[in-house]
Amino acid sequence: MIIRPRPHGWQLLYILRGSILPAVAPKVLTIATLSIAVAAFAELGRPDWISRISSTPFSLLGLVLSIFLSFRNSACHERWWEGRKQWGQLIFESRNLARHCRTLLPDEPALQRRICYLAAGFAHALAARLRGREVAAAMTPWIEDADRACLAGHPNPPDQLLALIAEAAAEPLRAGRLDPYLYGVFEARLQAMAAIQAGCERIVGTPLPFAYTLLLHRCAWLFCLLLPFGMASSLGWATPVVSVVLAYAFFGLDQLGEEMEDPFGLEPNDLALDVLVRTIEIDLRAALGEHPLPEPLLPRNYVLQ
Is the residue at 112 inside a domain? yes
In tens, the pLDDT along 3-55 reads 766 666 666 665 666 677 788 889 999 999 999 988 888 777 667 666 667 66
- pTM of structure: 0.88
The pLDDT assigned to 121 comes to 95
Give the type of residue at 290: E
Cis peptide before 228 (omega within 30 of 0): no
Is the residue at 74 inside a domain? yes
In tens, the pLDDT along 166-214 reads 999 999 988 888 888 888 999 999 999 999 999 999 999 998 888 888 8
Segment 141-150 mean pLDDT: 84
The pLDDT assigned to 14 comes to 59
What domain range is 30 assigned to?
A: 23-41+52-287
Is the residue at 6 inside a domain? no
Is the residue at 4 inside a domain? no
DSSP summary character for residue 3: -
More confident residue, 140 or 55: 140
DSSP summary character for residue 44: I
Q: What percent of the chain has pLDDT over 90?
A: 43
In tens, the pLDDT along 58-98 reads 778 888 888 888 888 899 999 999 999 999 999 999 999 99
In tens, the pLDDT along 237-281 reads 888 888 898 899 889 888 888 888 899 988 888 899 999 999 999
pLDDT-derived band at 223, boundaries 50, 70, 90: confident
Is the residue at 9 inside a domain? no
Which of 163, 175, 186 has the alpha carbon at shortest distance from 112? 186
More confident residue, 287 or 46: 287
Is the residue at 304 inside a domain? no
Is the residue at 303 inside a domain? no
Q: Where are the alpha helices (DSSP H) in the chain?
A: 11-14, 21-40, 48-51, 56-104, 109-130, 135-139, 145-151, 157-174, 180-205, 210-235, 239-261, 273-287
Please count the structural domains in the chain.
1
Is the residue at 78 inside a domain? yes
Neighbours of 19 (CB within 10 A): 16
